[in-house]
Amino acid sequence: MKLLIAISIVLLVTVSCSNMPIEAPSETIEASPETIETPVKVERNSPTRPSSSTNLSCADQGKAFLEPSADITTRWLDARARAEYSPSGSLDEAIGQLQALRSEWQQLDVPVCSTYARLGDAKTAMNRHMSGVIKGYSLRKANESDSAVNDAFDEASEWLDTYVSILKEVLN
């Protein structure tokens, strides 16, 4: 039930993000390492894949991340719903779709401006959520114990909660 509530919140946040213009808040939001308890390495501009958004205004950088992330999240929720109702023996296609969406998510450029610095943490949290969900369905497909499957989904749910919390912080 907690997972359904979290998914509903993500859907509401992503729908509202995709329909609203992104403007820089009047105050700067500082990144806080305490929000995500596990140390996370976020590479904003790797030498092999520089951010394409560095020449954009801060508001445009935020929009360049939030619009495609809302689209990917919506497609993720659809694929997740299909996987939920798939028999264990036919989860290969559903897991493949979820993996493809996670890969697409990983390619998003995180804004480099300070106003949207927390979106790097949000991206990491959602990536960990996606990985946990994929692990849960993979365990279910392999007929692992209900306890192992539930543990994977519970951890994924915690990462989803972190993602939603960060988005609310950034967008408010």
CA distance 122 to 26: 21
- The CATH number assigned to the domain with range 58-172 reads 1.20.120
Read off the pLDDT of each residue in 99-108 and give the average, rounded to a whole number: 95
pLDDT of residue 25: 34
pLDDT bin (cut points 50, 70, 90) of residue 6 is very low
DSSP-derived letter for residue 125 is H
> Any idea where the domains of the chain sit in the sequence?
58-172
Residue found by looking up tokens 């023996």 in the block: 89
**114-157, pLDDT tens digit by residue?**
788 889 999 999 999 999 999 999 999 999 999 999 999 999 99
